[in-house]
Amino acid sequence: MSMWSTPERPEPPNNPSDERAALEDRLEYQRTTLLQKCGGLTPEQLTLRSVPPSKLSLLGLVRHLSGVEAWFHAYDGQPDHLYFWNYVPGSPNSFDVVDSARAADDLASYQASVTRSREAVAGLGLDEASPGEDYTLRWIYLHMIEEYARHNGHADLLRERIDGATGE
């Protein structure tokens, strides 16, 4: 893999048809924003750190958000797995340990995690409680939008440091 591609990102509608559509559209917008921040970069650039002592990198963010998508996975009743975001089983360092040689695996893992998320909650109501938890699907959507927005801010600063690119 020489360079990550840059996906198209459609703007969410100003007048969504309903609450569920609004949440899904905003989350997809945030997911695509993350991939846009990584687009056009080499695996080596994706592993560049921000500023010491931070170990944050774009690839680390992608790996972290692969795991965060598991909030949705609980709804499908299938066992979760690492989606490659921890290279060492049991290690909690998805931000810290990045390997440019695994960038293509990390992207594939992220995409698989997002696909699983979409499938796990398809057709469920927003008031559906997460299995074994006290939060609803609505809360998870809101939390995920918040999580992505926060990390996309980090991604914007990382990208600017790598090649000067700014903005959305």
The string of pLDDT tens digits covering residues 87-138 is 665 566 666 778 899 899 899 989 999 999 999 999 999 999 999 899 999 9
Angle at which helix 19-38 crosses helix 137-163, to 10 degrees, equals 20
Residue 12 lies in a domain: no
Q: Are 71 and 150 in contact (CB under 8 A)?
A: no
pLDDT at 139 over 70: yes
Q: Which residues in 122-144 are b (16+ Cβ under 10 Å) and which e?
A: eeeebeeebeeeeebbebbbbeb
Q: Where are the beta strands (DSSP E) in the chain?
A: none
Say if 8 falls within a structural domain: no
Residue 140, in any domain of the structure: yes
Compute how many other C-beta atoms are within 10 angstroms of the C-beta atom of residue 110. 26
Domain total for the chain? 1
Domain that holds residue 149: 19-41+50-163
pTM listed for this prediction:
0.91
